Structure 1
């Protein structure tokens, strides 16, 4: 486990608070969903749908005042959690400026300020790892390898490593597939080919593994990410 500086520990503390706020917000919306469904009021999952439904319930003449009061209380708590999340995320973004490697990390597809700060908080510049493979193994994002006779094949990832950072890189991998606009970048092309052959979820894990290796190499070389373009 890499030894963390005080600055890294402060960033990690912000991430832990953010994670708890997200869990609380999810639990709250789930509770509201269950409460209203008991009274025949159905709305889609998601915070935006909850906010819309809270306003609809408040204006409805078919909902009792007791239920209106409960929903209003839950929605007020929900808005408070969102406000706290906004403060924490602003602090994470601001704190990135003290780390010179942040610019390198932000140049990587799928890596925004949340993932960049998580990487810095957990591994600094990756100097504790001898290789990109060691980093990927520590993350628990390397597929297990099995052998049978003269044949070997890759199984599921081990999931034995750093759960939080692994989850963040999984988010980044999804962003590469869903939102990265450089369609000619070899990373995007490769990820889409894996998704076509093996399915979206396996492609996400494969890209996350590749992102981990890319991040480590860039940090060691102290260089920005440069897309490798595939000619049409």
Structure 2
């Protein structure tokens, strides 16, 4: 097994399929094993490069393999799919991972640290709670509308639902059911507030997250999610690459020498893209109070483009500034350096 230089692992919940090949790309071994058997096998295996798809459990495995002395790499599943042969099975998937990793132009995902994963879990739970809260609010609006009561939009009116119900002659059972929904809404709202406080406290101990807060109109939620998704930023060769990974660059459809640029590609983390656009809109709302080249750039762009276009362009700029802060270990400055980011 000493001639094995690259091992591709198709990750499963209980079963793992390993494909080993030598430096010429020839298949040397195939192995199906449980999690315990795989860890024991790799612990006794000579050091080599181990590649997996970036999926559930891959970041933990990458950290464990690095501790064993192996070089662990993660690949986005979308880059592995083109290398899968016609008849798909787990061993073919493992072979495709090796084929993809052998490409010199392949892009890899940086394994996350435990702290980054914890922050990511907090953000996912927060997103889920917000979706549940929105669903609960919509249910209350819909049920009341069935009985001729139309409420204004927003969360403020839901918080004073009890006083609103007293103003209308509604069935007692309906009022009781709506009160249950309101209690559930209050619980979700409180959990979201608690998570926001936890994210702020975790961000205070994170050097990169604290520096990202220096970007105008970027708050703790956006800064912590940027720190999780970007890491040290070294996996991106330029700021444009990071903005492209978030889906904030034009989608290209060019052929025959004709350049075709569409809307933004909307790739990557949807929530991070949404937060960056939201930060951009807040910046535009407070544009008269902003100074520096970035503010002048936004004013000039706003004079000739739609506000939605300006918001996406500014979100792209904020993503690039965040990458520059992460890679150069600096803070945001509202001067010429900000425009060069």
Q: TM-score, normalised by structure 1?
A: 0.90
User: More helix by proportion, 1 or 2?
Assistant: 1
Shift, 1:125, TM fit: 2.2
Shift, 1:43, TM fit: 0.9
Q: Secondary structure at the match of 2:160?
A: helix
1:200 maps to 307
Matching of residue 33 in structure 1 with residue 176 in structure 2 = no
Q: Secondary structure at the match of 1:84?
A: helix
After superposition, the CA RMSD in angstroms is 2.0
Shift, 1:50, TM fit: 1.7
8 A Cα contact 1:109 1:180, kept in partner? no
User: More strand by proportion, 1 or 2?
Assistant: 2
Matching of residue 78 in structure 1 with residue 168 in structure 2 = no
Distance in 2 (alpha carbons) for counterparts of 1:15 and 1:209: 21
The higher relative CO (CA closer than 8 Å, separation ≥ 6) is in 1
Of 258, 269, 273, the match for 1:166? 273
1:12 to 1:138, Cα distance in 2 relative to 1, 3 A = same
Structure 1 residues 40-49 or 16-25, which shifts more? 40-49
1:189 to 1:70, Cα distance in 2 relative to 1, 3 A = farther
Distance in 2 (alpha carbons) for counterparts of 1:39 and 1:186: 54
Task: Please identify the structure whose Cα radius of gyration is greater.
Answer: 2
Number of aligned residues: 228
Shift, 1:112, TM fit: 0.6
Q: Secondary structure at the match of 2:262?
A: strand
Q: Which runs of 4+ in 1 moved over 6 A?
A: 148-151
8 A Cα contact 1:2 1:122, kept in partner? no
8 A Cα contact 1:172 1:208, kept in partner? yes
Q: TM-score, normalised by structure 2?
A: 0.62
Q: Secondary structure at the match of 1:156?
A: strand
1:181 to 1:21, Cα distance in 2 relative to 1, 3 A = farther
Unaligned residue ranges in structure 2 (runs of 5+): 1-108, 337-341
Distance in 2 (alpha carbons) for counterparts of 1:157 and 1:136: 10
8 A Cα contact 1:110 1:180, kept in partner? no
Shift, 1:46, TM fit: 1.4
8 A Cα contact 2:246 2:266, kept in partner? yes
**Structure 2 counterparts to residues 23-172 of structure 1, below 5 A:** 23-57=131-165, 59-60=166-167, 62-145=169-252, 152=259, 154-172=261-279
8 A Cα contact 2:137 2:158, kept in partner? yes
Structure 1 residues 21-30 or 45-54, which shifts more? 45-54
